[in-house]
Structure 1
Amino acid sequence: MLTALEVFTTVVVGLMVGVEFSVAFIMNRILNALPGDSGQLGHAHGGRMLGAVMPFWYIGSLALSAVWAIAGWHHDGAGLVVTAAALLILSVIMSILLLVPINNRNKAWTPENRPEDWKEQLNRWERFHYVRVAVIIAAFTLLVAALA
């Protein structure tokens, strides 16, 4: 049963890393290259869509890692799993304090109501997101190492 939990947790976190990596290094570049207001509208739509899903994914990943850490406490790699869970806690805190406030504003923007500094706000979100992606990649790497 522990092996199934380990594999399932690693897959869930790995998929989350893949989505967030894609947002950071592929989707944002595509959206930023679109002409006119299309990029901003795409960012707003993405903020609504992913903003509805990611809280469950982040909290779920953290919960699965915590269960793995508790269930596997006396097994090899437990320290790696605990450290990965701590990094996932950091990613949730970063999300709540840094990224969600910007996303909550962004998802309601239209070309008619967006603030003058909307590009600066999106750039700030992207910088915070790069750091969060590095944190969750580190957590994922630790989970994979704990499996080995």
Structure 2
Amino acid sequence: MLNALEVVTTVVFGVMVGVEFSVAFVMNPILNTLPEDSGQLGHAHGGRMLGAVMPVWYIGSLALVAVWAVAGWHSDGAGLVVTAGALLILTVAMSLLLLVPINNRNKTWTPENRPADWKDQMNRWDRWHYARVALLIAAFALLAAALA
């Protein structure tokens, strides 16, 4: 039973990390090169879409990691799982304090109502997102190592 939990947790978390990596290194660079207002509209739509699903995914992943840590407390790799969970908690805190406020503004912007500094705000979001992705990749690597 623990093996199934470990695999499910790693897959669910890994797919989330892949989505966040894709946002940082695939989608945002594409959106940033679109002409005129298309990129900003794409960012707003992505903010609405992912802003609805990512909280569930983050909390669900955190719950799975917590259950794995408790269920496998006396197993090899428990320390890796706990450390991964701590990194995931850090990314949730970063998200709530640094990224979500920018995203909540961004998802309401249109070419008619966006602030003059909208690009600066999006660049700030990108920088925080890169840091979050780095922490998520580290946490994923720890979970993968705990499986081995």
Q: For the superposition of Structure 1 and Structure 2, which TM-score range results when normalised by the shorter chain? A: over 0.9
Partner of 1:90: 90
Q: Which amino acid aligns with 2:14?
A: G
Partner of 1:9: 9
1:60 CA drift (Å): 0.7
1:116 CA drift (Å): 0.1
Aligned partners of 1:41, 1:139: CA distance in 2, in Å? 32
1:130 CA drift (Å): 0.1
1:53 CA drift (Å): 0.2
Aligned partners of 1:133, 1:35: CA distance in 2, in Å? 27
Q: Which amino acid aligns with 1:65?
A: V
Q: Which amino acid aligns with 1:38?
A: S
Deviation digits for residues 114-148 of structure 1 (CA, Å, limit 9, x no counterpart):
00000000000000000000000000000000000
Partner of 2:103: 103
1:17 CA drift (Å): 0.6
**Unpaired runs of at least 5, structure 2:** none
CA RMSD of aligned residues (A): 0.3
Partner of 1:76: 76
Aligned partners of 1:57, 1:88: CA distance in 2, in Å? 12
Q: Which amino acid aligns with 1:72?
A: G
Matched, 1:145 2:138: no
Partner of 1:123: 123
Q: Which amino acid aligns with 1:111?
A: P
Q: Which amino acid aligns with 2:2?
A: L
Partner of 1:28: 28
**Unpaired runs of at least 5, structure 1:** none
TM-score (norm 2): 1.00
Aligned partners of 2:63, 2:89: CA distance in 1, in Å? 10
Aligned partners of 2:137, 2:67: CA distance in 1, in Å? 20
1:97 aligns to what SS in structure 2?
Answer: helix
Deviation digits for residues 85-113 of structure 1 (CA, Å, limit 9, x no counterpart):
00000000000000000000000000000
Matched positions, count: 148
